[in-house]
Chains A and B, each alone.
Chain A
Amino acid sequence: GQSLEQPSEVTAVEGAIVQINCTYQTSGFYGLSWYQQHDGGAPTFLSYNGLDGLEETGRFSSFLSRSDSYGYLLLQELQMKDSASYFCAVVRNAGNMLTFGGGTRLMVKP
């Protein structure tokens, strides 16, 4: 079966750095994506890792280790607007589908 594990909740203060981990067990693994979702909104694409290593996009970075079936999303210089749910999603079968994790609810406090 397919499984993705990520923490259900994380709390951090404004300006801090937070790391959200994701471990996965899946067939047809192609890469790992991260999405942000505000309450009532649609998932918004943040980053994609197809190869091992770190990808950086502004304040957000994402990392993948295929051998460890592990990745993380790193958010720096946290802002209040970063309060949202963050989902890791395995890209499977050459991009034909995404399998989402359960999501991590990030609360940023002043």
Chain B
Amino acid sequence: EPEVTQTPSHQVTQMGQEVILRCVPISNHLYFYWYRQILGQKVEFLVSFYNNEISEKSEIFDDQFSVERPDGSNFTLKIRSTKLEDSAMYFCARADIGETQYFGPGTRLLVL
């Protein structure tokens, strides 16, 4: 059973379009994270979210990216104007304590 669910499982979009990726935790957790993995490469940290605030972000997480938890449940990652190089698998992760992070099944994003 996944620790979190993610929707959609696949998304195809045109360059320059906005996309919203969603993460739904199974139960209440304190810590949420977004990671991405370009095909064949390692997993890269994007952002961590604790107590409804960004606690850490990487250099990848520029102004094109934003996160929020709009309804106190879903955790979303928005990419405002997608680029070809945003094509990747995006993973949401959750943790009760930061050391042990559990990943969702991912959303495969393809930017054309």
Q: Does B101 contact A (CB under 8 A)?
A: yes
- Contact for B56 among A35, A45, A97, CB less than 8 A: A97
CA distance A35 to B35 in the complex (A): 14
Contact B99 A93 (CB under 8 A): no
B residues adjacent to A (C-beta < 8 A): 31, 33, 35, 41-45, 48, 50, 55-56, 58, 91, 95, 97-106
Residue numbers in B under 8 Å from A97 (CB-CB): 33, 45, 48, 56, 58
B-chain residues with CB within 8 Å of residue A48 when the two chains form the complex = 99-100
Chain B residues, CB < 8 A from A33: 99-101
Can you name the residue of chain B whose Cβ is closest to the Cβ of A50? B99
Given A42-B106, A43-B103, A44-B103: A102 and B98 interface contact (C-beta under 8 Å)? no
Tally chain A residues at the interface, Cβ within 8 Å.
Answer: 25
- B56 nearest in chain A by CB position: A96
User: Which residues from chain A contact B100 at a C-beta distance below 8 Å?
Assistant: 33, 45, 48
Q: Give chain B residues whose Cβ lies under 8 Å from the Cβ of A91.
A: 98-99
Q: How many Å from the CB of A42 to the closest CB on chain B?
A: 4
Cβ-defined contact, A43 with B98, below 8 A: no
**Closest chain A residue, CB of each to CB of B44:** A100
Q: Quick one: given A42-B106, A101-B42, A103-B42, are A94 and B91 in contact (CB under 8 Å)? A: no
Q: Are A95 and B45 in touch, CB under 8 angstroms?
A: no
